[in-house]
Amino acid sequence: MELTQEDITRVVAAALAEDVGAGDATTLALVPEDARCRAELLLEEPGVVCGIPVAAAVFAALDPSVTLEAKLDEGTAVSEVPAVVAVIEGPARAILSGERVALNLVGRLCGIASLTRRFVELTDGTRTEILDTRKTTPGLRALEKYAVRCGGGHNHRAGLYDGVLIKENHIRVAGGIAEALAALNGGADGLPVEIEAETLEQVREAVDAGAPRILLDNMSPEQVREAVMDVAGRAELEASGGVSLATVRAYAETGVDFVSVGALTHSARSLHVSLEVT
């Protein structure tokens, strides 16, 4: 799932409409129309840089003559703070009016990238990939999944349209795991297919029915390890549900192919970023 300029423009337009509305009353009253300024965008706590192109789009939407020069690449891990991540120059009204929207978005994306990096580092040396989920902020999915990639993680589905994931309610409606897989009958149109299993018995049933990938739902590391041994490479396996920083290493050491973590996007804390006129 690539982050496109269209994705950025859509989010920025909605955020500015919400925050600036009919106009920034304070800035319009206090700042002369011809005033110019220089400002630094700062990361105030250790973390991973993410979202600078989005900040640039915020200021450009208010005034195309505003320039933003990135001082650190996306995905850079910062330990010494405060760190200057970008320098913005141009009409003061546009920079001051766009400040909060830019900081909100950058802080959010840095937080997701930073949490993802922690999960990825904890699986270092294993074969397991860290995946995100669809548990994203409505309207921000493209940006948040981009932040996961900046943190070293991988994207699962972008949405319901680019992959078939047969979950427990689908299975119940279809009448069972084998029945659900049979009901596809080539109807996946070339999309990747995965089915959820809540027990080891269901894992075996899914493998026997030809499932190419199985989601191991809310299983313990011990159960995941047994599933890996039973399946023996006949299907890809993804552990999902309740995985935390404290447990992700244990899951990765089972040899499972993927671990998906909803917390990457639904529980990441925004990092402290600021903008200072210099």
Strand partners of residue 48: 77
- 164-166, strands of its sheet edge to edge: 129-131, 258-260, 236-240, 213-217, 193-197, 164-166
The neighbour count for residue 124, using CB atoms within 10 Å, is 10
The residue annotated as part of the active site, out of 10, 36, 38, 100, is 100
117 tagged catalytic: no
Residue corresponding to tokens 């994705």: 7
Note the helical H segments in the chain: 5-19, 25-30, 52-62, 92-122, 141-150, 168-174, 177-184, 200-208, 221-231, 248-252, 263-266
196 tagged catalytic: yes
Rounded CA separation 54/245 (Å): 28
Rounded CA separation 51/106 (Å): 5
Which of 42, 43, 28 has the alpha carbon at shortest distance from 92?
A: 28
| Distance from the Cα of residue 99 to its chain's centroid | 23
Distances in whole angstroms, Cα of residue 6 to Cα of each of 2, 18, 181, 196: 11, 18, 36, 33
The residue annotated as part of the active site, out of 24, 99, 194, 196, is 196
Which of 49, 46, 59 has the alpha carbon at shortest distance from 8?
A: 59
The residue annotated as part of the active site, out of 73, 127, 167, 276, is 167
100 tagged catalytic: yes
The residue annotated as part of the active site, out of 10, 134, 135, 234, is 135
The residue annotated as part of the active site, out of 121, 217, 226, 253, is 217
| Distance from the Cα of residue 235 to its chain's centroid | 26
Which of 85, 101, 120, 139 has the alpha carbon at shortest distance from 17?
A: 101
145 tagged catalytic: no
34 tagged catalytic: no
Q: What is the largest CA-CA distance in the chain?
A: 72
Residue corresponding to tokens 């997701």: 112
DSSP annotation of 270 reads P
- By annotation, the residues acting in catalysis are 100, 135, 167, 196, 217
